[in-house]
Structure 1
Amino acid sequence: MATMSRIEATFAALRQRQETALIPFITAGDPDLKVAAEIILTLVDAGADLIELGVPFSDPMADGPTIQASSERALAAGTTLSGVLQLVAEVRKKTAVPLILMGYYNPVFCYGVERFVRDAVAAGVDGLLLVDLPPEEAAEISPLLHESGVALITLLAPTTPRERMQRLAAVAEGYLYYVSMTGVTGGQKISPEDIRLAVDDLKGMTNVPVGVGFGITTVADACAVGTFADGVVVGSALVKIIEKYGKSEELLPEVAKFVAELKGGLTALTS
């Protein structure tokens, strides 16, 4: 019998508790790699169930102004894909929380696909989400990831045709990331009822957990989506805290406070 991955084991444990996963997103290397390591461990201590780490890229297309600016800060601090993998390796020594890299294909391609997969596995990466690489075009990397036990996370959007949604759901790994709205991260307000209909439909196509992200900025948003999604991704709101406090002494307490409030709200849904 195959061993459960960290992602699978995390969602299985949450399912037993009837609890929604909290999946915070930060940009790796913002404000620098050393502080990012401290932020990750703070997220874990505050209740994060999985963590998405954005790989900074100079030409992002799905990121709103907040996350674009965080990428610019990380790049200015000298963050590279190699540095992100070293960051994962460092924090992996201290936590078993699943770590998912989220970014664009160009840095991976330039790094070397085989070399990247090998190094990602060695570092302790659990999943990979490449915003600009549709599953139909992922033949160069998906078999290597599959053989290595790294989940290739699939993005689905409100504009995804239902037939394609069914095809992607059938081969999904780790969890499906449902984008709650059209546009970029940190955009307009979400409509929980519209998202619920889409997520319920998606859940009828797959047993893989469904996480929802984009536009979830408050505890109220997280709780509204947490009543029907398996996971809630919060990115821009957290990145704004990192931008505001930078390397000050207030940064980690403020991050911890916000994430603990999110986790507390989601946990309260089951009580």
Structure 2
Amino acid sequence: MNRIERVLKKGEKMLIPYITPEFPLPGVTLQLLEALAKSGADMIEVGIPFSDPIADGVTIQNSSLVALKNGITLKKIFDLVSLFRRNFDTPIILMGYANSIISGGLEKFIFDAVNSGVDGLIVPDLPVDEAENLIDVSKTYGLSNIFLVAPNSSEERIKLISEKSTHFIYCVSITGVTGERENFGDGEFVNFMSKVRKFSTKPFVVGFGISKREHVLKVWEWAMGAVVGSALIKKLSNASDVSMCVKIASEFLSELKYGSFQ
């Protein structure tokens, strides 16, 4: 059974942090993954740094540039996931752009990802209509595909994405790029969630703009999980060493999930 499926079967509300590997410092990734798993992360999303991340706001764009300067590569990401897998079963989901994934061969990418311990994949610039090859190869190796729906997605589109996603779908809470938002959970959000709940046959999580405990609780009213990315990346950018990164990530995740540091 895929680790994602195992977590979903628990039926519990999830918190899913996003990190950019080797940000803000070289050598931080493994300790950061372990700290997030210990602090209650139900799944962890790991970005594949890319020079032109069109779906990402300034915070994650900058973190990608720093990570690339710090020497992150696709092979290193796989190696780090393998090390993480020695002690932790927390599902790992990679988020990467199509060029990063197909440049070295799609099947090789998926084989290496699964072999390292990756459980799922999000490709924000690959429309589901053009993803049949990805879906077919992923099924062969047991990799979960997660496709995105947005507030302007039609009923038919939500149905299609729900059908093509393996275990769950990812709702982009706002039309635009990633980033923190002060206002979250307004009437437009409620209408969007109502539409997804009505037309999706798969569980769904929500990301983009989530930065506070109250945002997480609002998401949990509707969805199985909340994804927190830019807010965590922004906090980590202030860290001067690896131990500080671990402390910041652990306390922030615990605050978001439990309301206090556990």
User: Is the TM-score greater than 0.5?
Assistant: yes
1:235 paired with 2:229, answer yes
- Any residues of structure 2 matched to 1:69-148 within 5 Å, and which? 69-148=62-141
Do the aligned residues in 2 keep the contact of 1:169 with 1:202 (CA within 8 Å)? no
Structure-2 residue corresponding to 1:184: 177
Task: State the alpha-carbon separation in 2 of the partners of residues 21 and 261 from structure 1.
Answer: 14
Do the aligned residues in 2 keep the contact of 1:64 with 1:187 (CA within 8 Å)? no
- What is the CA-CA distance between 1:250 and the residue it aligns to? 2.1
Q: State which of 19, 26, 30 in structure 2 corresponds to 1:26.
A: 19
- What is the CA-CA distance between 1:172 and the residue it aligns to? 2.0
Do the aligned residues in 1 keep the contact of 2:18 with 2:232 (CA within 8 Å)? yes
Task: State the alpha-carbon separation in 2 of the partners of residues 81 and 118 from structure 1.
Answer: 13
Task: State the alpha-carbon separation in 1 of the partners of residues 259 and 253 from structure 2.
Answer: 10
1:50-109 superposed Cα distances (whole Å, 9 cap, x missing partner): 000010000110111110111011000111111111111111111100000001011111
- What is the CA-CA distance between 1:124 and the residue it aligns to? 0.7
Task: State the alpha-carbon separation in 2 of the partners of residues 165 and 207 from structure 1.
Answer: 9
Aligned length: 259
Amino acid paired to 1:46: S
Structure-1 residue corresponding to 2:8: 11
Task: State the alpha-carbon separation in 1 of the partners of residues 159 and 202 from structure 2.
Answer: 12
Structure-1 residue corresponding to 2:207: 213
Structure-2 residue corresponding to 1:170: 163
Give structure 1 stretches of 5+ with no counterpart.
267-271
Task: State the alpha-carbon separation in 1 of the partners of residues 119 and 230 from structure 2.
Answer: 22
Cα root mean square deviation, aligned: 1.6
Structure-1 residue corresponding to 2:153: 160
- Per the normalisation by structure 1, the TM-score is 0.91
Kindly report structure 1 stretches of 4+ aligned residues shifted beyond 6 Å: none
Do the aligned residues in 1 keep the contact of 2:180 with 2:211 (CA within 8 Å)? no
Do the aligned residues in 2 keep the contact of 1:216 with 1:234 (CA within 8 Å)? yes
- What is the CA-CA distance between 1:33 and the residue it aligns to? 5.4
1:59 paired with 2:52, answer yes
Give structure 2 stretches of 5+ with no counterpart.
none
Task: Please say which of residues 203-212 and 43-52 is displaced more in the overlay.
Answer: 203-212
Structure-2 residue corresponding to 1:47: 40
Task: State the alpha-carbon separation in 1 of the partners of residues 242 and 3 from structure 2.
Answer: 33
Do the aligned residues in 2 keep the contact of 1:24 with 1:235 (CA within 8 Å)? yes
- What is the CA-CA distance between 1:159 and the residue it aligns to? 1.6
What SS does the aligned partner of 1:244 have?
coil
Amino acid paired to 1:164: R
Amino acid paired to 1:250: M
- Per the normalisation by structure 2, the TM-score is 0.94
Task: State the alpha-carbon separation in 2 of the partners of residues 131 and 36 from structure 1.
Answer: 23
Structure-2 residue corresponding to 1:269: none
- Any residues of structure 2 matched to 1:242-261 within 5 Å, and which? 242-261=236-255
What SS does the aligned partner of 1:131 have?
coil
